[in-house]
A and B are shown apart, each in its own frame.
Chain A
């Protein structure tokens, strides 16, 4: 079955550093992937969509890459801030399959 895996461990980084989150998919080849942010007690909020023919997508301090050979997407937050602390979800948008999310904590 289609599966999306993300680092299940929480990621702690220092303010100002770059956070890198990993999303791996198996058993299928999605035409695109989406990244969402979820804060405690709230629904996910859409951040970025990257298609299989796009190597990289940027939005302000966010950058997403898509490597179809490795079956992997990387999500980067540059110059991270404590306000970036949240759980980040990777999703195969076409089939609405979400990964378990990675909890990011940016320490001041």
Chain B
């Protein structure tokens, strides 16, 4: 079974530039999550999708971050404009259902903002 795919694996940008990350969840998984993991910290949930609808985006900085999951499969997370403090690993995860189900994480995208 293929795992969660993410791209790119690494990205370096200047502050105030924009960047987009892509995630392809495990086939058949209805729930998709985006996390931000700053070095030395645990993952922090940014947004949760159930199929193509948003379940929870309470911790998403909506002035600069946006995410979509068209057709309930792939998802993109965008940052525009980026700030220095956005430097982190962005993890995508998926699960079959919204609660208690095991989450399967992708390898993450490491973003460096200069």
**B-binding residues in A (CB < 8 A):** 4, 32, 41-46, 49, 89, 91, 93-94, 96-101
Contacts and interface: CB of A to CB of B under 8 A. Distances in A.
B96 interface: no
Contacts, number: 45
B108 interface: yes
A94 B33 CA distance: 13
Given A94-B100, A96-B33, A96-B48, A45 B105 contact: yes
Q: Chain B: interface secondary structure?
A: loop
Interface in B22-56: 33, 35, 40-45, 48
26 contacts: A4-B42, A32-B100, A41-B107, A41-B108, A42-B107, A42-B108, A43-B107, A44-B91, A44-B105, A46-B102, A49-B100, A49-B102, A89-B42, A89-B43, A91-B42, A93-B99, A93-B100, A93-B103, A94-B99, A94-B100, A96-B35, A96-B45, A98-B44, A99-B42, A100-B42, A101-B41
Please provide the 6 A-B residue pairs with the shortest distance between their CB atoms, ordered closest to farther: A43-B105, A98-B42, A96-B45, A46-B102, A98-B43, A100-B42
Interface of B: 4, 33, 35, 40-45, 48, 91, 93, 99-100, 102-108
Contacts of B100: 32, 49, 93-94
B88 to A, nearest CB: 13
Contacts of A4: 42
Contacts of B40: 100
B102 to A, nearest CB: 5
A46 B103 contact: yes
A32 B93 CA distance: 19
B108 A43 contact: yes
